[in-house]
Amino acid sequence: MLNLTSNILDKILSAEALLIGCSAGGFNLVYELVSALPAEFPLPVVVIIHRSRRYKSSIEELLDTKSQACVKLAEDKEVLKKGIVYFAPPDYHLLLEPEGCFSLDSSEPVLFSRPSIDVTFKSVSDVYKQNVIAMLFSGANEDGAEGLCYIRDRGGLIVIQDPKSAEVRRMPEAALNKCRGGLVLDNVAIHAFFTSITSCYK
**Catalytic one of 14, 23, 118, 191:** 23
- Cα–Cα separations (whole angstroms), residue 88 to 18, 77, 103, 163: 13, 13, 10, 24
**Catalytic one of 50, 67, 116, 138:** 50
Tell me the HSE value of 103 on the side-chain side, using a 13 A CA sphere: 13
Active site residue 50: yes
**Catalytic one of 93, 113, 116, 143:** 143
Residues 200, 8: contact at Cβ < 8 Å?
no
Active site residue 52: no
Active site residue 162: no
Catalytic residues: 23, 50, 143
